[in-house]
Amino acid sequence: MDTLGLGIMELLGKSLGAGSYFREFFEGHDSILRHNWYPRCQTPHLTLGTGPHTDSVSIAILHQDDVGGLQVQIDNEWFNVSPYPGSFVVNIGETFMALTNGKYKIPLHRAVVNNEKARCSIVFFMNPQADKIIKPPGELVDDEINPRKFPDFTWGALHEFIQKEYRADHNTIHCFFERQQQQKKLKNTSTSSQ
Ligand X SMILES: O=C(O)CCC(=O)C(=O)O
Cβ 169 to ligand X shortest distance, Å: 12
148 is catalytic: no
For 173, the 3-state DSSP assignment is helix
Is residue 127 within 8 A of residue 58, CB to CB? The reply is: yes
- Interacting residue with ligand X among 20, 36, 129, 154 (CB under 6 A): 36
Partner whose binding site includes residue 94, from ligand X, Fe ion, none (CB under 5 to 8 Å by kind): none
The catalytic position among 34, 40, 110, 119 is 119
**34 CB-near residues (< 8 Å, 6+ apart):** 122, 123, 125
Give yes or no for residue 73 binding ligand X (CB under 6 A): no
Q: Which segment (39-47, 64-72, 149-157, 185-193) binds ligand X by CB under 6 A?
A: 64-72
Q: Which segment (2-10, 62-70, 99-107, 134-142) binds ligand X by CB under 6 A?
A: 62-70
Is residue 95 within 8 A of residue 31, CB to CB? The reply is: no
Give yes or no for residue 94 binding Fe ion (CB under 5 A): no
Query: What count of other Cβ atoms lies within 10 Å of the Cβ of residue 43?
Result: 8
Give yes or no for residue 70 binding ligand X (CB under 6 A): yes
Q: Which segment (52-60, 79-87, 96-104, 156-164) binds Fe ion by CB under 5 A?
A: 52-60
Of residues 130-189, which lie at the interface with ligand X (CB under 6 A)? none
**113 CB-near residues (< 8 Å, 6+ apart):** 38, 39, 40, 41, 44, 47, 48, 49, 69, 119
Q: Would you tell me which residues interact with ligand X (CB under 6 A)?
A: 34, 36, 50, 55, 62, 64, 69-70, 109, 111, 121, 123
